[in-house]
Amino acid sequence: MSRSSAGRTGGWLSRTLSRRRRHPLAAVTVLLVVLFACGSAYAAFAPSSQSPIHGAETAQSTEVEEGRQLFAIGCASCHGLRGEGAVRENGTVLGPSLVGVGAAAVDFQVGTGRMPMGSPAAQAPVKPVAYSDEQIDALAAYVASLAPGPEIPEEEQYDTSVDGADPARGGLLFRTNCAQCHNSSGQGGALTYGQEAPNLTGVEPKYIYEAMLTGPQAMPVFNDETLRPEDKRDIIAFLEEVQEMPDPGGLGIGRVGPVSEGLWGWLVGLGGLIAFAAWIVTRSASARSATKASSARSSS
């Protein structure tokens, strides 16, 4: 059997990634991606850098208008007709104000299926996404038009295939800023009174970026001034690295550490060995089947 045979499927993922990076076309691909990203970034940034009030481009104003209509139907009942928020009769918040939350918050909340929320709960659960991409963009454009807020990040900001993305540094940042709630390998964890920090496995980099930027639900905000875009990109690089990595020791059993390990130790470890013990102490099969008494005795 050669060393690169099919038996070593476990490592293929990390290797494919690396192979892709070393591929002769990789540099060209990266260049193209960067060029494209720059181009689209310019396209996206140029108009939006102007104040929305000045927005002369018809395409954008129709998008805002479309968003306003969608908002009035789907969101206004909780967030108010102009996104100013709503309060219940008893004074508790029905839906928070969306003035200044920015397009990123809308893209995250609606794009991950958290909004519209359905019924009030400790935390908005993740549901199937209710709007199309265009509709989400329209909603985001409308909410962004209310007041300046965080923009939807450009792909280059969370594209970790560019040179310089440092997963190790990202890990350090992650353990300092994120692991306390999301667990050191991003498995999530419990918060107070039914809230929880979600598992980050499989979450799109864009949404991770937006979550840091906007602080959805109970999550605090990590803005670009204090957690710079390159810091965020490193964090995403770390998460990708850890999540794509196979578990070298075998089954990951949830990657949550000692609780599941203890259960395995008792149930599978000791349980399996006791099963062997039960086999060891019996005699091999008797020629006569009338062995009721002896079997009853060995199980007393």
Partner 1 sequence: MTTPKSEEMTYPAEHSEHTGEVERRAADGDPIPDPGLHEPPPRYTDVDPSANKRAERQVVGMFTLASVFIVASIVAYVLFEIEPSEGVSNVGDVQVSNFALGITLGLALLLIGIGAVHWSRSLMTSPEFAEKRKPLTSSEDVRQDTLASFNTGAHETGFGRRKMIRNSMFGALALLPLPAVVLLRDLGPLPGDSKEHTVWDEGVRLLSDVTYEPIRAADVDLGQLINVMPETFRELPEHGPERLNERAKSPVMLVRMLPEELSPAQGRENWHIDGIIAYSKICTHTGCPISLYERTTHHMLCPCHQSTFDLADNGKVIFGPATRNLPQLPLAVDDQGYLIAQSDFTEPVGPTYWERGTR
Partner 2 sequence: MSSTTPPDVSASRNTAIRGAGKVVGFVDERITSSNWLKRNLRKIFPDHWSFLLGEIALFSLILIILSGVFLTFWFKPSMAHITYEGAYVPMRGIAMSEAYASTLELSFEVRGGLLMRQVHHWSTLVFIAAMSAHMLRVFFTGAFRKPRELNWLVGLTLLVLGVANGFTGYSLPDDLLSGTGLRIIEGGILAIPVVGTYLSYFIFGGEYPGEDIITRLYAIHILLVPGLIVALVTVHLMILWYQKHTQWPGSGKSEKNVVGYPFFPIYMTKAGGFMFIVFGFILLMSATVQINPVWLYGPYDPSQVTAGVQPDWYIGFLDGGLRLMPPWEISIFGYNIPLSVLIPAMILPGVILTLLAVYPWIEQKVTGDKREHHILDRPRNMPVRTSLGVAFIVFYIVLWIAGGNDFFATVLEIPVNWVSRFLQFSLILMPPIAFWITKRICLGLQRREREKVLHGRESGMIVVSPEGEFTERHEPLDPHEAYELVAHERPVVREPEPATDPNGVPNPNYKKSLRRARLSHFYFADVIDKPTRDELERVHHHHEEIAPSSNGETPQHGASDDQGGQHH
Residue 272 binding partner 2, by CB under 8 A: yes
Contact track, partner 1, 242-261, x by CB under 8 A: ---xxxxxx-----------
Residue 231 binding partner 1, by CB under 8 A: yes
> What region, left, alpha or beta, does residue 118 occupy, with left being phi > 0 and alpha being psi -120 to 50 degrees?
left
* Rounded Cα gap, residues 55 and 50, in angstroms: 7
Structure tokens, 93: 């918040």
Contact track, partner 1, 156-195, x by CB under 8 A: -------------x--xx--xx--xx-------x-xxx-x
| Least separation in angstroms between CB 47 and partner 1 | 24
Question: In the range 150-189, which residues lie near partner 2 by CB under 8 A?
Answer: 166-169, 171-172, 175-176, 179-185, 187-189
User: Which range, of 28-36, 111-119, 155-163, 244-252, touches partner 2 by CB under 8 A?
Assistant: 244-252
* Rounded Cα gap, residues 218 and 215, in angstroms: 7
164 Cβ contact partners less than 8 Å away, ≥ 6 residues apart: 230
Are the C-beta atoms of residues 222 and 215 closer than 8 Å to each other? yes
Helix (H, G, I), strand (E, B) or coil at 25: helix
Residue 202 binding partner 1, by CB under 8 A: no
| Least separation in angstroms between CB 181 and partner 2 | 5
In terms of Cβ atoms closer than 10 Å to its own Cβ (0-12, 13-18, 19+), residue 278 is: exposed
Please work out the total of residues on this chain that contact partner 1, with binding judged by CB under 8 A. 60
Nearer to partner 1, 284 or 299 (CB): 284
Are the C-beta atoms of residues 67 and 138 closer than 8 Å to each other? yes
Structure tokens, 293: 């008494």
- Give the residue from 143, 153, 155 showing the smallest Cα distance to 52: 143
Helices 102-111 and 133-146 meet at what angle, rounded to 10? 150
Binding site for partner 1 (CB under 8 A): 1, 3, 7-8, 10-15, 17-18, 21, 169, 172-173, 176-177, 180-181, 189, 191-193, 195, 197, 215, 217-223, 225-228, 231, 241, 245-250, 279-280, 282-288, 290-291, 293-294, 297
Binding site for partner 2 (CB under 8 A): 122, 166-169, 171-172, 175-176, 179-185, 187-194, 196-197, 238, 241-242, 245, 247-253, 255-266, 268-270, 272-274, 276-278, 280-281, 292-293, 296-298, 300
